[in-house]
Structure 1
Amino acid sequence: MSTSSTTPILSAELPTQVPPTVHDSGADTEPGGIVVHSCTTLGSTLIVRLTGEIDHFSAAPLRALLASAADDGYTGLVLDTRGVTFADSGFLAVLDGWPRHGRRLRLAHRSRAVKRPLHAAAATTQRPAQAGSLTAAATS
C-alpha cells in the first residue's frame, strides 16, 4: 500500500537571515596596554622606560621597537620597568630574542609585576642559565 502526502517537508516561509553573533573570547585585545614612557640612547645602548600592562597582545609596540633597535645596530638594552603593573610570559617572549647575537639586556627598577614571571621562568629552568640567556640577565 502506498500513500502520498501533499504536505511540504519545509514550511513555505523561510526564516530571515540572522546576522552572525560575535563572541568575546574574554582576552584583552586592546592595543596600547604598555606605554614606552621614554626612550633614550647612550652610545650603542637603548634605554627604555615602560609603564602599564604587558601581555601577548600589548607587547607588539615593544617587539617592534626592539626589532628596529636591533636592525639599527644597538647592542645594549636597559629596560626600566618600575611603572609596569602587569607582565606575563608575553613580556618574556619579547625579551627572549634580545640577548642573541651578543646583545646585552639589563632590567632596571623591576616592579613586582615584572619580578613574578622572571622568578617563575627561573624556577622552571632545569639546567644552569647560560651567560646570554634571559634568565641569566633577569637574575643578575
Structure 2
Amino acid sequence: MHGMSSLTFALTLVLLIVYPGCVQGQEGNLFRCNVQYKCSAEKELVWAMADERCHVFHNRCLLTVEQCARRNSGQSELIESTKEICKPSCVKKCLDSYDPVCAQIFQEEYITFSNECEMRNYICTNERPYSYFAIGECVEQPVG
C-alpha cells in the first residue's frame, strides 16, 4: 500500500508541475491539505453533507483533508452524517457539459468523468471514494 501512496503523491506532484493552474482552487488546496495530514489507507467509510449533497470518504482523516481544502477555498463546511441520512442525497442533477475530471478510486482504478458533478454522483452512489482527482481526462494509469 505504501508504494501506491508514494506513487499517488508523485503523480500529484507531476500534475502540479505540468499544470500549474491546478495549484489554485480546490485541487491545489486538496493537495496541500493531503500533504499536511498524511492519512492512512485504512478503510472506514465516513459520510458527510454539504450544500445538500452527500459525500463519502475512505476514512475520517480524508474527511479532515477535505474540510481543510474547503476551508482554504471558502467553501461550506462538511457536516458528518450517517449513511442512512446521507445516501438519499448522493445524486444531484448535473449540467450536460463536458468538463472532464480524472479520479482515482481509492488506490484502485483511474476513471475519467464528464464533469465533477458526475464524478461525485458516481462516488457517492457506488460508495467508492476517490483518493485523488484532477481537472482533465485521465492520460494513463500508472504501472503498479
TM-score by length of structure 2 reads 0.23
Higher helix fraction (1 or 2): 2
- Return the index of the structure with the highest Cα Rg: 1
TM-score by length of structure 1 reads 0.24
Higher strand fraction (1 or 2): 1
